[in-house]
Amino acid sequence: MLNLENKCDIHFGFATIKEVPVFLTVFSSFIAGMLCAIPFIRSLKSRKKGGQQKDGRQGGNHDANNGNYGID
């Protein structure tokens, strides 16, 4: 189920790790991808919080109720 018999070599350019189980390679790649995504997720959350005005409305030059979208 986890490909325990299948092994691979990992080359870093300056070092090589031999006979690493494939499931550890896939699992570590998944964890590394999640760690790399954290800064992007945090920047999206801070962008949403920072774009609001004092009265709670989103910033921008438009008023959808009056049909004024800030286009000159």
Residue 45 is predicted with a pLDDT of 77
Has residue 19 been placed in a domain? yes
Residue 32 is predicted with a pLDDT of 94
Token representation of residue 63: 């008023």
Domain total of the chain: 1
Has residue 67 been placed in a domain? no
Residue 34 is predicted with a pLDDT of 94
Would you give per-residue pLDDT tens digits along the chain (72 residues)? 667 789 999 998 899 999 999 889 999 999 999 999 998 888 887 777 665 555 555 555 555 566 666 665
Has residue 46 been placed in a domain? yes
Has residue 36 been placed in a domain? yes
Has residue 44 been placed in a domain? yes
Residue 41 is predicted with a pLDDT of 87
Has residue 60 been placed in a domain? no
The C-alpha atoms of residue 9 and residue 59 are separated, in whole angstroms, by 52
**Host domain of residue 17:** 7-50
